[in-house]
């Protein structure tokens, strides 16, 4: 009898998973049927009751444009508003960020988290930024070429630093001071400046799980180690100088709660074989949906 009651309770919990919010990557949109549309359908088939795929701007074309150009801080603030305004998310949700959407959703958690995220999944997010211009595979060629040209002028130039989205997570290990002064997004969410925002740490530490998926053969993101919160030592672009995640100051001094999550077994490192964002829906189901979204 007791066992039966327990079983019924477990079934109830599994039958009622949280909704899921998606934030797409550069060159993608909320709703392309072959990308976020397919992910959204797969999640729905697995039993996720509701999927909200973030759109920046008021059309799919605007959304695609804003993956390359615009102010990321404004985008995150807008997402904070629109997620709070969605009544189906009022009880909290799980979140999956794809590529740059990974660090943008982390910014949502750190700055707003209302309604709160339970599990945060990062598919190839650049948590320690990029140190080279991302390549244009599978994106709108015109927009992507323009991104490369603008970013090539200098990520930390006024006029570029608030306009090129990729400049806002460009971390040049040869220009530490400029990065810290002129990059308007990444140093802030990483609490790399002299004053640390305690809210960022408190909010990130409130996650049940933070899952970092790195694409093992990624050549789009330089360095791919950024997907596991690893980065170059200051002053060098030598790949052999990548610092293990747990030897960075961000980790050791626990600027954003990463160490706390790690030492309480809530930080997970997954390696997905293949190039940037080349994962199958089966991978999503086995490695993310079953272990994190359905329980």
Ligand X SMILES: *[C@@H]1O[C@H](CO)[C@@H](O)[C@H](O)[C@H]1NC(C)=O
**What residues act catalytically?**
99, 218, 276
**For ligand X, how many residues bind (rule: CB under 6 A)?**
8
Q: How far is the CB of 294 from ligand X (least distance, A)?
A: 27
Q: Is 271 in the site for ligand X (CB under 6 A)?
A: no
Can you list the positions of beta strands (E) in the chain? 20-23, 51-53, 93-98, 117-123, 209-215, 231-232, 242-243, 267-272
- CA geometry: angle 54, 56, 62, nearest 5 deg: 130
Q: How far is the CB of 123 from ligand X (least distance, A)?
A: 21
DSSP state of 6: H
Binding mask 209-248 vs ligand X (x if CB under 6 A, - otherwise)? -----------------------------------x-xx-
Q: How far is the CB of 59 from ligand X (least distance, A)?
A: 10
Q: Which is nearer to ligand X, 61 or 290 (CB)?
A: 61
Residue 12 is inside which H or E element, if any?
helix 2-14
Q: Which of 100, 103, 119, 140 binds ligand X (CB under 6 A)?
A: 140
Q: Is 143 in the site for ligand X (CB under 6 A)?
A: yes
Q: Which is nearer to ligand X, 252 or 295 (CB)?
A: 252
Q: Which is nearer to ligand X, 131 or 140 (CB)?
A: 140
**Token pair for 187:** 């140093």
Q: How far is the CB of 281 from ligand X (least distance, A)?
A: 24
Q: How far is the CB of 262 from ligand X (least distance, A)?
A: 8
Q: Is 65 in the site for ligand X (CB under 6 A)?
A: yes
**Token pair for 251:** 């980790």
- Stretch near ligand X under the rule CB under 6 A, chosen from 74-82, 103-111, 136-144, 182-190: 136-144
Q: Is 61 in the site for ligand X (CB under 6 A)?
A: yes
Distance, in Å, from the CA atom of 79 to the CA atom of 1, rounded to the nearest integer, reads 47
Q: Is 142 in the site for ligand X (CB under 6 A)?
A: yes
Sequence-distant (6+) residues with CB within 8 A of 242 are 223, 225, 230, 231, 232, 233
CB 216 within 8 A of CB 272: yes
Q: Which is nearer to ligand X, 65 or 179 (CB)?
A: 65
Q: Which is nearer to ligand X, 64 or 172 (CB)?
A: 64
C-alpha closest to that of 166 among 174, 178, 154: 154
Distance, in Å, from the CA atom of 123 to the CA atom of 216, rounded to the nearest integer, reads 12
Q: How far is the CB of 56 from ligand X (least distance, A)?
A: 13
* C-alpha separations of 111 from 86, 90, 114 in Å: 18, 17, 9
Sequence-distant (6+) residues with CB within 8 A of 59 are none
CB 166 within 8 A of CB 123: no
- Stretch near ligand X under the rule CB under 6 A, chosen from 87-95, 135-143, 147-155, 173-181: 135-143
Distance, in Å, from the CA atom of 288 to the CA atom of 38, rounded to the nearest integer, reads 15
- Stretch near ligand X under the rule CB under 6 A, chosen from 93-101, 117-125, 139-147, 168-176: 139-147
Q: Which is nearer to ligand X, 140 or 226 (CB)?
A: 140
Residues that bind ligand X (CB under 6 A): 61, 65, 140, 142-143, 244, 246-247
């Amino acid at each position: 009898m007791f066992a039966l009651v327990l079983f019924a309770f477990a079934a109830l919990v599994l039958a009622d998973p949280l909704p899921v919010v998606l934030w797409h990557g550069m060159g993608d949109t909320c709703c392309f049927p072959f990308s976020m549309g397919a992910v959204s359908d797969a999640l729905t088939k697995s039993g996720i009751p509701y999927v909200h795929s973030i759109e920046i701007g008021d059309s799919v074309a605007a959304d695609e444009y804003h993956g390359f150009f615009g102010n990321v801080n404004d985008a995150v603030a807008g997402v904070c508003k629109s997620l709070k305004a969605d009544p189906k998310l009022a009880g909290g949700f799980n979140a999956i960020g794809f590529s740059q959407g990974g660090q943008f959703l982390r910014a949502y958690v750190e700055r707003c988290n209302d309604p709160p995220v339970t599990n945060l999944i990062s598919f190839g997010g650049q948590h320690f930024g990029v140190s080279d211009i991302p390549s244009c595979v599978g994106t709108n060629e015109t927009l992507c070429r323009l991104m490369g040209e603008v970013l090539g002028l200098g990520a930390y130039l006024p006029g570029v630093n608030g306009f090129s989205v990729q400049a806002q997570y460009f971390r040049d290990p040869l220009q530490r001071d400029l990065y810290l002064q002129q990059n308007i997004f990444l140093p802030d969410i990483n609490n790399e400046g002299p004053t640390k925002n305690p809210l960022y740490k408190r909010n990130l530490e409130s996650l049940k799980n933070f899952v970092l998926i790195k694409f093992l053969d990624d050549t789009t993101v330089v360095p791919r180690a950024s997907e596991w919160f690893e980065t170059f030592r200051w002053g060098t672009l030598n790949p052999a100088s990548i610092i293990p995640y747990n030897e960075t100051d961000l980790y050791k001094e626990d600027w954003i709660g990463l160490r706390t999550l790690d030492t309480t077994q809530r930080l997970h490192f997954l390696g997905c074989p293949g190039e940037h964002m080349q994962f199958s829906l089966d991978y999503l189901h086995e490695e993310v949906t079953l272990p994190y979204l359905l329980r």
